[in-house]
Amino acid sequence: MQVDPNGYAWWYVDALSEDGREGLTLIAFIGSVFSPYYAWTGRRDPADHCALNVALYGTHRRWAMTERNSGALRRDRTNLAIGPSALHWDGTCLTVAIDEVTAPIPRRIRGQVRLYPQAVVNHPIVLDEVGNHRWWPIAPCARVEVEMEKPGLSWSGTGYFDHNRGDASLESTFRRWDWSRASTPDGTAVLYDLETRGGDTCSLAILFDPERGVVDFAPPPEAKLPRTLWGVGRGTRAEAGGARVVKTLEDGPFYARSILDTTLLGHRSEAIHESLSLDRFRNPIIKTFLPWRMPRKGW
Largest CA-CA distance found in the chain, in angstroms, rounded: 52
> What integer pLDDT is reported at residue 299 of this predicted model?
64
Residue 196, CA distances (Å) to 46, 130, 158, 224 in order: 23, 12, 32, 20
pLDDT at 138: 96
Cβ-contact 153, 132 below 8 angstroms? no
Contacts of 158 (CB under 8 A, 6+ apart): 15, 16, 18, 142, 143, 144, 183
d(CA 7, CA 166): 5
Q: What is the pLDDT of residue 297?
A: 87
Full-model pTM? 0.96
Which is it for strands 67-68 and 296-297: parallel, antiparallel or unpaired? parallel
pLDDT at 122: 87
Domains of the chain: 8-297 (2.40.370.10)
| Per-residue tens of pLDDT for the chain, all 299 residues | 689 999 999 999 999 999 989 999 999 999 999 999 999 999 999 999 999 999 999 999 999 999 999 999 999 999 999 999 999 999 999 999 999 999 999 999 999 999 999 988 989 999 999 999 999 999 999 999 999 999 999 999 999 999 999 999 999 999 999 999 999 999 999 999 999 999 999 999 999 998 888 999 999 999 999 999 999 999 999 999 899 999 999 999 999 999 999 999 999 999 999 999 999 999 999 999 899 999 998 76
pLDDT score for 119: 83
Strands 153-166 and 8-17: antiparallel
Cβ count within 10 A of residue 214 = 16
